Structure 1
Amino acid sequence: MLVLEIASGLREEGYAIDLMSSGYDVAKRMGIIPQLEAVQYPISKIENVNERGERESEMNYDLFRRFQKGRLLALMRGDLERELHTALSDDVEIRYELTIDDIQQCDSSVTVLLSDGTREHGALLVGADGIHSRVRELAFGDEREFLRYLGYHTGAFIFEDEAVYRRLDGTFKNLTVPNRTIGCYPLRDGKLATFFVHRTPVRERPDDIRTALRRTYGGLDWVIPDILDHCDDVDNIYYDQVAQIEMPRWTWGRVTLVGDACQAVSLLAGQGASLAMGGAYVLAHELRQDGPIEETLAKYEAHMQPEIEKKQAAGRRAAKWLFPPSQHHITVRNIALKATQFPGGAHLLKPILESGTESVVEGL
């Protein structure tokens, strides 16, 4: 198997993710749960604070774990990628800093022209290259035909600041004002991670993301000025649209897609990594059945599509809860979160907590 990767190596940028349901089940079948448990972050709560850093409400993270029946790991994206990379078999070859420039196929094979001028041949091409997939563009058409912009931009980076680290006091904290949210949380070795989400009608990503972050969040207090001071210190800042990919078909002959390339649910729905792992497992399961390629890929799509559509719809419904557009919405959210601290109050979050419990690999 040959894997082509546009990056120069394993990537550390990105933010914390929840590995649950499908992703957890796949990791368990791979036998890497112990390795992932060793690098997880045992988050107990997420605090929502005001611009003075005062707690206004909190999310009890154990509620998520209970709804997931313990099948939940909080990981940095880079840690998950590293453990998956370590688990690869020796017959997998990875070539970095390459993209695909052209795809040609016949009844029995597919040929790709690579950015270094070489050509490779195989029985199947799987595009697992994210929401801005080059394989999808070559095989199915322009991104604008499939990308559903949800009205937000997001960013994230990892930095070091002893003063900010102390002020977090070991807790994941969010500051939310109308249409803007910033989260900051401590990592190992004195590092910190932050993420930004803000509403904007402008779909296009800015040319200068550092200036865009300072302009959008520069008027806020708490630790925000200190965080923004590190924009120029870090080498890599993740920045993108918050969007979903909606496609009627994921397969063209011997080309198919997996993960965000065809089924992006967005950070509003979460579970992107878990669903990508689940989708890859379903595809591999169908390929192992050794049937006609057209039938195999059709079964993969039919298995995944209903669950993806459900997760995408749930994400769109959760937008106002996760990133409130007004002070009224923020107040209502805080009241609901406080109510969960009382007996029976957890039912208020049931629609959100239950939306990620289904596993696409169950029964396979």
Structure 2
Amino acid sequence: MRAAVIGAGIAGLACARQLALAGWQVDVVERADGPRADGYMMDFFGLGFDAAERIGVLPRLRKASYRIGSVEYVDARSGRRTASIDYDAFASALGGRLLSLMRPDLELVLLDALGDAPDGSVRVHYGVPYRASEAADAGTELGARLAGADLVIGADGVHSGVREALFGDETQFVRPLGLRAAAYVIDGAPDLHAEFDGRFVLTDTVDRQAGIYGLRDGRVAAFLAYREDAQEGVDPDEDAPTRLRRVFGGLWSPIDRLLERCPAHPYDDVVAQVVLPRWHRGSTVLAGDGCQAVSLLAGQGASMAIAGAELLTDLVGPCRDAASIEAALGEYERRWRPVVEEKQAAGRRAANTFLPPDRFRLLLRRWALRASTLPVIDALVMRSIAGGTGLKGRTGV
């Protein structure tokens, strides 16, 4: 059996590995020229943590993870700490089943894990746009394999080309939540790294929030989020570095130093969820953010990508004909859709906590974070985080 996986992100690589272990021949095509270098720090827990343990990649993820003692909120004018969140308490509420990972590192772990599959069973092709890969009339070996695939998995993200080919323009399905987020990593800034090594710091600000943290290899990472409506929308002709400097310039001096080094093409996208009535048609199915984007407000996007990939491949892996594949895809959607919808609802509820729209709600969040240090309230807050939106939905990291 042959599968074509469109997209070499978290969901795509997880699907490819598991199908290959189930005896499939898998081609993964990715429009980018290589693994993504930019991304933000993520909290990895919940369903994805359990799935990673079952499929055998958890030891690699532990090795790639970061130790974060706390997240600090600071006043952007003075740099004074206004509140903090104790990660050890959050981890304790989860029974220690929490990892902090850079998104590019998670992708590299999954890429490395393809080596667990039989030799030659997975081939990853970078620099292949989807529309080029779907045409077999070019007469290439890759084109012939893709055209002959028994299963096509569209794991090509929020702006999925596979979804567009199946169901139409993304404006029908992508639901922006009024925010944008950007992230990038810089090198050669030893002064910033010395100041933020071992620290994860977020500005305690209205309508926009900037985060900065030092990585283990001497680099420094930036995370930037803001409300589009507070900035009078986004000019499509304005490049990302210019826009980020306009929105965040003057917010806080360390962020100004980061903005000076912003690369030409940072990760920069709308914060959105994907909602559509069907996830598959025939033997083509969507996975990951292409159908189940919960947004970073929900705090479990990467976790959901791996857990969803495990369920999909568990169901379709044993299939050996078109009828059983289509039945398995229907069962995948029946089981997984309610889980996705629950996380999406949690993400929408978290919007005003993630990025307060006014000073009143900012002060309310600050009070709640300070109160969480009290023993009884701390236990309640941590249980709520563990069972609901997740720490990322609460802090903006």
Q: TM-score scaled by structure 1?
A: 0.90
- Tell me which of 71, 75, 80 is aligned to 1:54: 80
Alignment-derived partner of residue 21 in structure 1: 46
Please tell me whether residue 300 in structure 1 is matched to residue 332 in structure 2: yes
Q: Distance in 1 between matches of 2:299 and 2:203?
A: 19
1:288 Cα offset (Å): 3.1
Q: Which shows bigger deviation, 80-89 or 113-122?
A: 113-122
Please tell me whether residue 352 in structure 1 is matched to residue 385 in structure 2: yes
Asked if the contact 2:279–2:286 (Cα under 8 Å) also holds between the matched residues in 1, the reply is yes
Alignment-derived partner of residue 226 in structure 2: 198
1:274-313 aligned at under 5 Å gives the runs 274-290=303-319, 292-313=324-345
Alignment-derived partner of residue 394 in structure 2: none
SS in 1 for 2:38: coil
Q: Distance in 1 between matches of 2:208 and 2:136?
A: 40
Alignment-derived partner of residue 356 in structure 2: 324
Q: Distance in 1 between matches of 2:190 and 2:355?
A: 28
Q: Distance in 2 between matches of 1:148 and 1:69?
A: 34
Gaps in structure 2 of 5+ consecutive residues: 1-25, 391-397
Q: Distance in 2 between matches of 1:58 and 1:292?
A: 51
% same residue: 40
SS in 1 for 2:387: helix
1:187-241 residue CA offsets vs partner (Å, 9 max, x unmatched):
012111111000013367554000000000113124121111111xx35410000
1:159-180 residue CA offsets vs partner (Å, 9 max, x unmatched):
1322222332521000032100
Asked if the contact 1:98–1:114 (Cα under 8 Å) also holds between the matched residues in 2, the reply is no
Asked if the contact 1:147–1:246 (Cα under 8 Å) also holds between the matched residues in 2, the reply is yes
1:319-343 residue CA offsets vs partner (Å, 9 max, x unmatched):
1111111111111111111111111
Alignment-derived partner of residue 266 in structure 1: 295
Q: Distance in 1 between matches of 2:218 and 2:237?
A: 30
Cα distance change on mapping 1:123 and 1:163 into 2, 3 Å: same
Q: Distance in 1 between matches of 2:166 and 2:236?
A: 24
SS in 2 for 1:190: coil
- Tell me which of 76, 100, 117 is aligned to 1:74: 100
1:45-80 residue CA offsets vs partner (Å, 9 max, x unmatched):
000001221100001112321232221110111111
- Tell me which of 114, 117, 135 is aligned to 1:113: 135
SS in 1 for 2:388: helix
- Tell me which of 154, 159, 168 is aligned to 1:141: 168
Asked if the contact 1:205–1:240 (Cα under 8 Å) also holds between the matched residues in 2, the reply is no
Cα distance change on mapping 1:114 and 1:182 into 2, 3 Å: farther
1:262-294 residue CA offsets vs partner (Å, 9 max, x unmatched):
000001001111111111111111113437222
Alignment-derived partner of residue 124 in structure 1: 151
Structure number with the higher strand fraction is 1
Alignment-derived partner of residue 245 in structure 2: 214
1:27 Cα offset (Å): 1.7
1:114 Cα offset (Å): 6.7
One-letter amino acid matched to 1:14: G
Alignment-derived partner of residue 69 in structure 2: 44
Alignment-derived partner of residue 179 in structure 1: 207
Cα distance change on mapping 1:116 and 1:177 into 2, 3 Å: farther
Asked if the contact 2:202–2:209 (Cα under 8 Å) also holds between the matched residues in 1, the reply is yes
Asked if the contact 2:48–2:303 (Cα under 8 Å) also holds between the matched residues in 1, the reply is yes
SS in 2 for 1:53: coil
Q: Distance in 1 between matches of 2:358 and 2:246?
A: 20
1:83-107 residue CA offsets vs partner (Å, 9 max, x unmatched):
111111231011111122289xxxx
Gaps in structure 1 of 5+ consecutive residues: 104-111, 358-364
Q: Which shows bigger deviation, 135-144 or 159-168?
A: 159-168
One-letter amino acid matched to 1:32: V
Asked if the contact 2:350–2:389 (Cα under 8 Å) also holds between the matched residues in 1, the reply is no
1:106-131 residue CA offsets vs partner (Å, 9 max, x unmatched):
xxxxxx31797743221010000000
Q: Distance in 1 between matches of 2:136 and 2:111?
A: 22
SS in 2 for 1:296: helix
Q: Which shows bigger deviation, 276-285 or 165-174?
A: 165-174
1:10 Cα offset (Å): 1.5
Alignment-derived partner of residue 245 in structure 1: 274
Alignment-derived partner of residue 108 in structure 1: none
Asked if the contact 2:347–2:389 (Cα under 8 Å) also holds between the matched residues in 1, the reply is no
Please tell me whether residue 11 in structure 1 is matched to residue 11 in structure 2: no
- Tell me which of 177, 185, 191 is aligned to 1:158: 185
One-letter amino acid matched to 2:216: R
Q: Which shows bigger deviation, 153-162 or 237-246?
A: 153-162
SS in 1 for 2:375: coil
One-letter amino acid matched to 1:61: Y
Number of equivalent positions: 347
1:355 Cα offset (Å): 1.4
Alignment-derived partner of residue 366 in structure 2: 334
One-letter amino acid matched to 1:82: L
Please tell me whether residue 98 in structure 1 is matched to residue 120 in structure 2: no
SS in 1 for 2:217: helix
Q: Distance in 2 between matches of 1:350 and 1:336?
A: 14
Cα distance change on mapping 1:173 and 1:297 into 2, 3 Å: same
SS in 1 for 2:330: helix
